[in-house]
């Protein structure tokens, strides 16, 4: 995988579990448990002696799984990690020697940057993803948004205090590349080899990351007149206001009455998500879903609406970017 592909996949996975393992073998079970929960990566931190060996074993015993090396603070660790098979390097701060070595060796590197000057340094090296750490102590999503504002080309891996309590806040933001944290690899669960717990936590985090929510039902009609009739009926029955658009009329926010035969034998269901691109990645990888390219709507290069190819009980389904 090319350097940019690794970073793109990592951004689509969106969650970066941080593990400090005491036994290299544990990292393999941990990686498998995370994968079973839908998370296709782990960042193994150089906070324990066996980090490089753990990376080596996970690389050898998993497939379609990205292994990162975390808490890398000198070139020697970066070299060890890459020799062991690490797909990417994450640093808590900005060490020029590590960054330069990674660039020279075409290794994806994500340095820690919490000031505009550090971000400018990263940009001058051609980097597009930096780590905002410790995120919550540095002001959380608000501070990250302010920091991101002048630097449109840069996205942030946020870690440090990210948890199920604030994950959704970060997940919605365009400037967030991914969200990392140790809560996805709880030390207690690893110590007790409670791999089911790791898998369950991963599943819950993925659900929160994607944030699926049914938001409206679309009803197909044969003509604008029929659509007007149905809209009037729904509006007078439930007291919802009507919003007439060119191709459909919304009755409240829950009904969309198409002015013609839209997609789906009976109509469609709209599902909001925190990120259409991450949802596409997950649904493709874990549910074999394919998408109807003719239906794709984009804004600023980003998909805002796309239909799944299959129907559910006569209803088409489209994803919609949550506002
Ligand atoms: C890191 O190295 O990114 C942090 O130690 C992770 O912080 P957390 O334990 O709060 O997730």
Mean pLDDT per block of 10 residues along the chain (323 residues) reads 87 97 96 97 97 98 96 98 98 98 97 97 97 97 97 96 96 96 95 97 98 97 96 97 96 96 94 97 95 95 95 97 93
What is the signed CA dihedral for 130, 73, 42, 28, rounded to 10 degrees? 170
131 is catalytic: yes
C-alpha to C-alpha distance for 144 and 166, rounded to whole angstroms: 13
Q: Is 254 in the pocket of ligand 1 (CB under 6 A)?
A: no
pLDDT value at residue 306: 98
Interval 111-144: pLDDT, tens: 999 999 999 999 999 999 999 999 999 999 999 9
CA 160 to ligand 1 centroid distance, Å: 4
CA 17 to ligand 1 centroid distance, Å: 9
Q: Is 159 in the pocket of ligand 1 (CB under 6 A)?
A: yes
CA 201 to ligand 1 centroid distance, Å: 16
25 is catalytic: no
3-state secondary structure of 266: coil
For residues 99 and 111, the answer to whether their CB atoms sit within 8 Å is yes
Q: Please tell me which residue in 59, 131, 155, 173 is annotated as part of the active site.
A: 131
Q: Is 148 in the pocket of ligand 1 (CB under 6 A)?
A: no
For residues 140 and 114, the answer to whether their CB atoms sit within 8 Å is no
Q: Is 133 in the pocket of ligand 1 (CB under 6 A)?
A: yes
Cα angle for residues 116, 122, 125 (degrees, 5° grid)? 145
The atom of ligand 1 lying closest to the CA of 181 is 11
For residues 45 and 33, the answer to whether their CB atoms sit within 8 Å is no
For residue 155, list its beta bridge partners: 129
* Backbone conformation region of residue 154, classed left if phi is above 0, alpha if psi is from -120 to 50, else beta: beta
Question: Whose C-alpha lies nearest to ligand 1, atom 11?
Answer: 181
CA 149 to ligand 1 centroid distance, Å: 24
pLDDT value at residue 246: 93
pTM (2 d.p.): 0.93
C-alpha to C-alpha distance for 115 and 122, rounded to whole angstroms: 11
CA 56 to ligand 1 centroid distance, Å: 22
pLDDT value at residue 89: 98
Q: Which residues make Cβ contacts (< 8 Å) with residue 287, sequence separation at least 6?
A: none
Q: Is 182 in the pocket of ligand 1 (CB under 6 A)?
A: yes
- Four-residue CA torsion sign, 77, 95, 44, 38: negative
CA 161 to ligand 1 centroid distance, Å: 6
- Mean predicted lDDT score pLDDT of the chain: 96
C-alpha to C-alpha distance for 13 and 202, rounded to whole angstroms: 12
The atom of ligand 1 lying closest to the CA of 183 is 11
* DSSP label at residue 184: G
Widest CA span in the chain: 72
Q: Please tell me which residue in 43, 53, 256, 280 is annotated as part of the active site.
A: 43
Interval 55-78: pLDDT, tens: 999 999 999 999 999 999 999 999
Question: Whose C-alpha lies nearest to ligand 1, atom 9?
Answer: 182
pLDDT value at residue 184: 98
Q: Is 17 in the pocket of ligand 1 (CB under 6 A)?
A: no
C-alpha to C-alpha distance for 215 and 18, rounded to whole angstroms: 34
Question: Whose C-alpha lies nearest to ligand 1, atom 6?
Answer: 160
Q: Is 160 in the pocket of ligand 1 (CB under 6 A)?
A: yes
For residues 56 and 44, the answer to whether their CB atoms sit within 8 Å is no
Q: Is 161 in the pocket of ligand 1 (CB under 6 A)?
A: yes
C-alpha to C-alpha distance for 19 and 12, rounded to whole angstroms: 20
Question: Whose C-alpha lies nearest to ligand 1, atom 7?
Answer: 160
pLDDT value at residue 4: 74
C-alpha to C-alpha distance for 25 and 213, rounded to whole angstroms: 38
Q: Is 171 exposed, middle or buried (0-12, 13-18, 19+ CB in 10 A)?
A: buried
* Best residue for ligand 1 mutational test, from 45, 71, 134 (most atoms within 8 Å of Cβ): 134
């Amino acid at each position: 995988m090319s350097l940019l592909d690794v970073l793109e996949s990592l951004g689509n996975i969106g969650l970066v579990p941080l593990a400090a393992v005491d036994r290299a073998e544990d990292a393999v079970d941990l990686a498998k448990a995370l994968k079973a929960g839908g998370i296709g990566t782990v960042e193994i931190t150089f906070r324990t002696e066996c980090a490089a060996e753990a990376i080596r074993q996970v690389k050898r015993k998993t497939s379609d799984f990205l292994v990162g090396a975390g808490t890398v603070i000198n070139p020697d660790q970066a070299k060890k990690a890459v020799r062991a098979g690490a797909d990417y390097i994450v640093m808590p701060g900005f060490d020029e020697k590590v960054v330069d070595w990674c660039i020279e060796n075409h290794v994806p590197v994500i340095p820690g940057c919490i000031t505009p000057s550090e971000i400018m340094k990263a940009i001058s090296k051609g980097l597009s993803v930096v780590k905002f750490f410790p995120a919550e102590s540095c002001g959380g999503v608000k501070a990250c948004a302010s920091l991101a504002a002048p630097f449109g080309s840069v996205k942030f891996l946020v870690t440090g205090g990210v948890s199920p309590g604030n994950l959704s806040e970060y997940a919605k933001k365009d400037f967030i590349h991914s969200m990392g944290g140790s809560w996805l690899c709880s030390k207690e669960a690893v110590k007790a080899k409670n791999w089911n717990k790791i898998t369950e936590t991963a599943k819950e985090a993925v659900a929160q990351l994607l944030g699926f929510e049914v938001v409206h039902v679309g009803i197909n009609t044969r003509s604008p007149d029929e659509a007007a009739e149905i809209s009037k009926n729904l509006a007078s029955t439930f007291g919802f206001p009507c919003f007439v658009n060119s191709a459909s009329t919304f009755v409240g926010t829950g009904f969309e009455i198409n002015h013609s035969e839209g997609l789906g034998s009976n109509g469609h269901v709209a599902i909001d998500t925190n990120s259409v691109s991450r949802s596409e990645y997950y649904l493709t990888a874990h549910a074999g879903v394919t998408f109807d390219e003719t239906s794709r709507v984009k804004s600023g290069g980003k998909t805002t609406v796309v239909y799944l190819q299959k129907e559910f009980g006569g209803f088409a389904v489209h994803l919609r970017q949550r506002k």
